[in-house]
Amino acid sequence: GAVVSQHPSWVICKSGTSVKIECRSLDFQATTMFWYRQFPKQSLMLMATSNEGSKATYEQGVEKDKFLINHASLTLSTLTVTSAHPEDSSFYICSVPGSGDNEQFFGPGTRLTVL
Amino acid sequence: AQKITQTQPGMFVQEKEAVTLDCTYDTSDQSYGLFWYKQPSSGEMIFLIYQGSYDEQNATEGRYSLNFQKARKSANLVISASQLGDSAMYFCAMREGLDSSYKLIFGSGTRLLVRP
C-alpha cells in the first residue's frame, strides 16, 4: 500500500505562533487527502478534505481561516494552524485514499502542543 | 447524515479468547463501506478489515472477522484467539459511497485490554 509521511512528528510551540504540518504521499499520487484531529482519548474527527489544485472542503464547525490547507501537488498537502492556542493542542493525522475501495492510508500523525 | 456508534468504551478479554466489538451505523445510502482500524498507543492507524455494503459474505482477515448484519445496520468486529498485542483502541468507520476518495467518519472507539 501507499506510504504516507507526516512532518514533523511532534511540535511544541508558543501561543500565538503558526505551525505548518506536512502530509506526503511517498509513492502514490493523491488528488484528495484528508485531515483529521484527535483529542486525547477521543475519536478522529474529520477537519477537511484537501483537494489538489483547488480549495479545501471544510467540515462544519472547522474554521477555515485558522486551519489553512494547501494541496499544491499530487504528493503534498499542508495544514497550517494559524495563531495557535492551547486548545489547538491535539494529534493531527492525514490520510490518502488508495485506488481500491478498501484503501485509505494514514500518516503516522503529528502531535501538536501549544504552550 | 451518517453516524457511527460504538457503545463499548472499554472491553476486557482473556488472552486466547475471542471478543466482539460492537458497531452500528446509520445511513440512507445503499452504497457504503465499513472499516475497522486499530490504534495502539503510538497513534498509528492500522487497517484491519473492510466490508462493502454489497458484499454478501462477511469479511475475514486472519484472526479478524466482520459480522455484517445489513438489516440491523451493524458491523461488529470479532477478534479470535486474542493476543496481548491486541490491546489498543479500535475504531469503526464508515464511508458513504464506494469510491475511496470519499471521506471516512469514525465512531468513538473501544479500548480493548487483553489480560494474560
Query: What are the tens digits of pLDDT across the range A43-56?
Result: 999 999 999 988 99
In this prediction, residue B66 carries a pLDDT of: 97
Asked if residue B66 lies in contact with residue B58, where contact means CB atoms within 8 angstroms, the answer is yes
More confident residue, B100 or B72: B72
Q: Is the predicted pLDDT of residue B98 greater than 80, yes or no?
A: no
B33 and A101 in contact by Cβ < 8 A?
A: yes
Whether chain A has a CB inside 8 Å of the CB on B14: the answer is no
A46 and B103 in contact by Cβ < 8 A?
A: yes
DSSP category for residue B58: P
Q: Beta-strand (E) ranges in A26-89?
A: 32-38, 44-51, 57-58, 67-73, 76-81
**Which tens digits make up the pLDDT trace of B31-52?**
999 999 999 999 999 999 999 9
Q: Is the predicted pLDDT of residue B110 greater than 70, yes or no?
A: yes
Asked if residue B24 lies in contact with residue B74, where contact means CB atoms within 8 angstroms, the answer is yes
Q: Is the predicted pLDDT of residue B112 greater than 80, yes or no?
A: yes
In one letter, which amino acid is B104? L
In this prediction, residue A29 carries a pLDDT of: 87
Residues 6+ apart with CB under 8 A from B1: none
Whether chain B has a CB inside 8 Å of the CB on A5: the answer is no
Confidence of residue B53 (pLDDT cuts 50, 70, 90): very high
Best of A45, A51, A102 to disrupt the B interface by mutation (most B CBs within 10 Å)?
Answer: A102
Best of B42, B45, B51 to disrupt the A interface by mutation (most A CBs within 10 Å)?
Answer: B45
Q: Is the predicted pLDDT of residue A14 greater than 90, yes or no?
A: yes
Q: Is the predicted pLDDT of residue A70 greater than 80, yes or no?
A: yes
Confidence of residue B1 (pLDDT cuts 50, 70, 90): low
Q: Is the predicted pLDDT of residue B78 greater than 80, yes or no?
A: yes
Chain A, nearest residue to B94 by Cα: A102
For B72: left if phi > 0, alpha if psi spans -120 to 50, otherwise beta; the answer is alpha
Tell me how far apart the alpha carbons of residues A50 and A76 are, in angstroms, rounded to a whole number.
Answer: 10
Asked if residue B88 lies in contact with residue B38, where contact means CB atoms within 8 angstroms, the answer is yes
Q: Which residue matches cell numbers 506526503?
A: A24
Residues 6+ apart with CB under 8 A from A41: none
Q: In this structure, what C-alpha cell is assigned to residue B54?
A: 454489497
Mean pLDDT, chain B, as a whole number? 94
Task: State the smallest CA–CA distance between residue A102 and chain B in angstroms.
Answer: 6
Q: What is the mean pLDDT of residues A12-39?
A: 94
Asked if residue B15 lies in contact with residue B84, where contact means CB atoms within 8 angstroms, the answer is yes
Confidence of residue A13 (pLDDT cuts 50, 70, 90): very high
Tell me how far apart the alpha carbons of residues B28 and B53 are, in angstroms, rounded to a whole number.
Answer: 12
Number of Cα atoms under 13 Å in the Cβ half of residue B65: 11
More confident residue, A110 or A27: A110
Task: State the smallest CA–CA distance between residue B28 and chain A in angstroms.
Answer: 19
A104 and B100 in contact by Cβ < 8 A?
A: yes
In this prediction, residue A1 carries a pLDDT of: 63
Task: State the smallest CA–CA distance between residue A98 and chain B in angstroms.
Answer: 6
Percent of chain A with pLDDT over 90: 79
Q: What is the mean pLDDT of residues A82-110?
A: 93
Q: Is the predicted pLDDT of residue B101 greater than 80, yes or no?
A: no
